[in-house]
A and B are shown apart, each in its own frame.
Chain A
Amino acid sequence: MTVLLQVRDLVKHFPVRRGFFRDGKSAVHAVDGVTFDLDAGETLALVGESGCGKSTTGRLVLRLIEPTAGSVRFEGRDLFALDAGALRAARRSMQIVFQDPYASLNPRMTVGQILEEPLMLHGIANGRRQERVAEILAVVGLAPQHAQRYPHEFSGGQRQRIGIARAIAVEPRLIVCDEPVSALDVSIQAQVVNLLQDLQQRLGLAYLFIAHDLAVVKHIATRVAVMYLGRIVEMADKGTLFSQPRHPYTQALLSAIPVPEPRLRRKRLLLQGDVPSPIDPPPGCRFRTRCAYARDRCATEDPPLVVEGGHAVACHFWREIEPPSASLPDSSSMPQNVRLSRLQAAFNPGATP
């Protein structure tokens, strides 16, 4: 696999002014030393709760905002060293799909104009732009005549299809998907998740998939990075992360997800308290204020992200913490509901259940 994206020690601090005379200077440590690689054609999910820095990381990766420190290399080129023209050219290969399909489409432009704009900007399909727009609409499951309509005429799921169409119009290699299905109803979510998977296969896209919903992530990702207060605390391929979570935060996060299976009874790892403020993150390990395993060392020494056999964990004591069997519901203990899966398969004609 070729490495598409190399992110090294990425830092973003947003300055805030405090105090009556606004002279107290401090900063929100939104992203604080994030490092990862993304291969062509794979899906790396960035997960975590509000304020963990996952969306800021997504914006930094596209250089939509400037970093405080660190580097991003896309296809080997340092993104932060590019001038405006070169950056615009590079963006042809890297696109974004936003969370809110209502706010991210210009209400004064028709769908056709929305999709033609990136084509014009990058000089693609000159002379046959209308045809290209019709092709792209077909790819995302919309009809050519939709090009004449305005965004408000579409439902949320259809608008997200338009947002995806705009991203793939320029044939990118990477799409940053920033919570692409969180604003949608569940039945519509499934349609969009399926579309993203189909497009990845057809077009060989890589996704940086930013989400808070671990069930969606488990469905779509190849690798998963869990973020907490601006740092990656654990990163592994999907199977490993979900079956053997090693960081106490990942374990608690997995255990907190409600599962629509009333017969499953799980032992819960309930986290106490709230996430500390990213303005003054606690010294040492940032998770220690909520961690059941925290010891003296955690307060003084910041645990680095240590990679062992492809599984990266930032915890001093991860070797001593047992991966809890109860954090994830065990599917093997549940009899498979044959009737239900066969009936559900009827909703997807042509697909294997």
Chain B
Amino acid sequence: MSALLEIRGLTTSFATDAGTFNAVDGVSLALEAGRTLGLVGESGCGKSVTALSIMGLVASPPGRVAGEILFEGADLLRLPPAAMRAVRGNRISMIFQEPMTSLNPAFTIGEQIVEGILRHRAIDRVSARRQAVDMLARVRMPSPAQRYDDYPHRLSGGMRQRAMIAMALALEPRLLIADEPTTALDVTIQAQILELMRTLRDETGTAIILITHDLGVVAELAQDVAVMYAGRIVEKGSVERVFAEPQHPYTIGLLGSIPQLHLERRRLPAIEGQVPNPLVLEPGCRFAPRCPFATSRCRAEEPVLREVSAGQEAACWHAPLDFDTARAA
């Protein structure tokens, strides 16, 4: 099966007063139709900038996007603006983290859904309205015909996120980018939204890039996962493989540092230190300063992403990592 989306060497840089830095630095990944890829990492790792680069939403200047983003055969980075507008919101759409700030407070949610439909489809307002109400029903919005005329402030956080999802899926996109779709929600509401996303994905076959810092959310929804650190993908593979046999020390540390309901531990294995400043990167592996397994090679040469087991890649000189080789290192 050929990939729906293929990103090659994506590098997104921003010019600041202090200098230019790469928020995303040579990211390559592929996504097949109907699959869900979890893109995980901590603040500043470049996961959201990757999403904005795909959507063509990086402001330039100060931003600059280089590389290739092949979607349904076309390189999105080389599309003229009008052609990109025909893709955005139609073939690819996006759900943002904060439904209150990403919905327009001055329009009803119905009007906001209809706006997108009318922009991309040659249908009249009455049919567009019917389609919007149908969509609100599909995201299990209670009394959708009434909610159509509500302004965003009248809805709860969970309802607003349902409205956002209705808007994003109204045109049946092939690819949905969900940037922290449940982070602003309470846990019982998060469970509702994750359940809804799973159902809709299975019904529509939409591919999803799920951006999150929450490894639990990835395990719930995604089939594949890519772990980002300081602008690079450090490990990727199937969710089962990466969660059970992580090979990059950052993934190992990250999985260890989350308190887990089903594990009893006296002390959390925290990753000491903090992420490097992207303006002053040292040579070598970007994780080396925080890595207990780092050797002199790690501090001199930067490892590239390579296959370490079937369907699993890691950017670490010592991968595949087991305890004895790690100690010897």
Q: Please report A residues at the B interface, Cβ cutoff 8 Å.
A: 49-50, 155, 157-158, 185-191, 193-194, 197, 212-216, 218-220, 242, 252-264, 268, 270-275, 328-331, 334, 337, 339-349, 351-353
Contacts and interface: CB of A to CB of B under 8 A. Distances in A.
Interface in B229-275: 239-240, 243-246, 249, 252-272, 274
Contacts of A253: 187-188
Given A187-B42, A263-B244, A348-B269, A219 B191 contact: no
29 contacts: A49-B186, A49-B189, A158-B274, A187-B254, A190-B258, A190-B259, A190-B270, A194-B268, A242-B261, A253-B188, A256-B187, A258-B194, A261-B219, A261-B243, A262-B244, A268-B191, A270-B191, A274-B158, A328-B261, A330-B262, A343-B249, A343-B321, A343-B323, A346-B293, A346-B323, A347-B253, A347-B271, A348-B270, A352-B266
A279 B184 CA distance: 22
Contacts of A339: 245, 322-323
B102 interface: no
B245 A262 contact: no
B208 interface: no
B43 interface: yes
B159 interface: yes
A254 B187 CA distance: 9
Contact of B261 (A189, A191, A257): A257
B210 to A, nearest CB: 12
Contacts of A193: 259, 268, 270
Given A271-B188, A274-B189, A347-B292, A262 B264 contact: no
Contacts, number: 184
B66 interface: no
Closest 3 A/B residue pairs (Cβ): A258-B216, A344-B256, A190-B270
Nearest to B223: A262
Given A258-B219, A260-B243, A274-B158, A186 B188 contact: no
B195 A344 contact: no
Contact of A342 (B215, B216, B323): B323
Contacts of B254: 186-187
B264 A331 contact: yes
B179 to A, nearest CB: 16
Given A194-B270, A340-B246, A347-B269, A258 B214 contact: yes
B290 to A, nearest CB: 8
A257 B255 contact: no
Interface string B266-292: 111111101000000000000000001
Contact of B255 (A49, A214, A215, A344): A344
Nearest to B242: A262
A300 B186 CA distance: 28
Nearest to B260: A215
B262 A328 contact: yes
A351 B249 CA distance: 18
B220 interface: yes
B190 interface: yes
B305 interface: no
B218 interface: yes
B204 interface: no
Contacts of B259: 190, 193, 213, 215-216, 218-220
Contacts of A158: 274
B260 A260 contact: yes
Nearest to A52: B186
B213 interface: yes
B217 interface: yes
For A155, A188, A189, the residue with the greatest tally of chain B CB atoms inside 10 Å of its CB is: A188
B259 to A, nearest CB: 4
A169 B191 CA distance: 41
A193 B257 CA distance: 10
Given A194-B268, A349-B292, A189 B323 contact: no
A218 B263 CA distance: 10
B268 A188 contact: no
B214 A268 contact: no
A53 B255 CA distance: 31
Interface centre among A242, A257, A272 (most CB of B within 10 A): A257
Contacts of B220: 258
Contacts of B271: 187, 190-191, 347
A262 to B, nearest CB: 4
A197 B267 contact: yes
Contact of A187 (B159, B253, B321, B326): B253
Contacts of A351: 266-267, 269
Contact of B263 (A197, A331, A346): A331
